[in-house]
Structure 1
Amino acid sequence: MKHQFSRNELAIGQQGLDLLKQQTVVILGVGGVGSFAAEALARTNIGHIILIDKDDVDITNVNRQLHALTTTVGQSKVSLMEERIKLINPDCKVTPLHMFYTEETYEEIFDNYDIDYFVDASDTIMYKVHLMKECLDRGIKVISSMGAANKTDPTRFTISDISKTHTDPMAKIIRQKLKKLGIRKGIPVVFSDESPIVIREDVKD
């Protein structure tokens, strides 16, 4: 019988679908990167998706965020994404956490959920580094998005170890901070080797 994951089943089989259904994935930051990551995971039969973001949709999000529409401005990003995921896969358990990841809140996340994978789509360097170390210490798989601001060529993005990143100002700072913690490699990241374009000065923010 056909179902919403029939095409996935052709590639990975029923055993693969069952394995994905047993996984719990956390997405930190449900914005330009995280919203699309959340939907992609929902469309692969992930069993439990935890969404972390305290922000509401802003009008400036409409150009790049999946849940951002002129009709959703002012609404919670995690709540909107939860609703969208449920429309894709009603059987997926979705836990929306309307909060920020900080040194004061991280234990609430790690201690209350049995996490298989962490998708770091946040943009605060201090907490990205904190999350990376915490995942390494706890043996939890993590992948982190680096800087994409003012980059326009999607073909330049790649997945690599943090130690092999270059031409990315955010990744450079993160490497330096990780080095101080004794971490030089072992964290997969998504980054672009494109140099950022110069921002137009004649456009008002």
Structure 2
Amino acid sequence: MTDNKTWTERSRLLWGDERIDELSKAHVLLVGLGGVGGMTAELLVRGGIGRLTIVDADTIQPSNINRQLVATHSHIGEPKAQVLATRLLDINPQLQLEVIQDFLKDENMVELLDRHAYDFVVDAIDSLSPKVYLIALCKQRGLAIVSSMGAGAKSDPTQIHQSDLSKSYNCALARSLRKRLRKLGITRGVPVVFSSELPDEEAVIEIQGEQCKRSTAGTISYMPALFGCQLAAYVLRHLTLTPKQGA
């Protein structure tokens, strides 16, 4: 088996032993393993995160193949979380990985957040209600969190930003999230990844029969992946930045 210092050699060359060893001790909770979350998970593990809890209840569908990391024809019908878990452990066999194949609701979300002392939480949920609740619970507990806004109906990678939710614009999901969180007394202090590109309105359709979702949007292969890159970068940098470098 390849040891940790061998496969992280290039990361150590960039960031040094101390920072990479720090990441190997960090525990990240990642909720949502679609096009955004799946890429986030892989880059966190390749970046050296040593402990990861991943949460997703969905199975792989043909419509996922255009953008989701684990979506291939050979895995259709299989749980996303389990397929991704196999891939992550192949990247780092020493990874401490907890897999939760469940749709988070109020009661089990509280239990999940109180189960461990997470160093960071990543919200890659694409449904509004559980997204609001996860962020609110993290804020109540003082847990560091970064949240993904909508990557659908957009295609310009140059308009993806990291910002506070209060400064996001041209994103319907962010707008709804701000409104719901404002009612809970949360107006700032929620870092997000969002796109300022105006959405293609013809790429959004109404749907029925899905939990917490009223519409779905067309997507292109690279946009969710780039959102995942931004989320992973935010977590890795903020877990290793020293006071001199800023938070």
**Cα offsets for 1:45-104 (capped at 9, x unmatched):** 101111100001001000000000010000111111111011111111111100112102
Aligned to 1:156: 159
TM-score by length of 2: 0.79
Find out whether 1:137 has 2:140 as its counterpart: yes
In structure 1, which of residues 168, 176, 180 is the aligned counterpart of residue 179 of structure 2? 176
Q: Determine the structure 1 residue equivalent to 2:122.
A: 119
RMSD, aligned CA: 1.5
Secondary structure of the 1:118 match is strand
Q: How does 1:90-129 map to 2 (within 5 A)?
A: 90-129=93-132
CA distance in 2 between counterparts of 1:58 and 1:146 reads 22
1:107-166: per-residue Cα shift (whole Å, max 9, x none)? 221122221111100011111111111111111100000011110111110000000011
Which residue type is aligned with residue 183 of structure 2? K
Which consecutive unaligned segments of at least 5 residues does structure 2 have?
A: 205-217, 219-247
What does residue 196 of structure 1 align with?
199
Aligned CA distance change for structure 1 residues 163 and 14 (closer, same or farther; 3 Å)? same
Larger relative CO (CA 8 A, sep 6+): 1 or 2? 2
Distance in 2 separating the partners of 1:108 and 1:81? 23
Runs of 4+ in 1 over 3 A off after TM superposition: none
**Which residue does 1:59 correspond to in 2?**
62
Q: Residue type of the partner of 1:132? A: I
Matched, 1:3 2:9: no
Amino acid aligned to 1:128: K
Structure-2 separation of matches of 1:107 and 1:138: 10
2:221 maps to what in 1?
none
Provide the rounded CA distance (Å) in 2 between the counterparts of 1:181 and 1:135: 13
5+ residue gaps in structure 1?
none
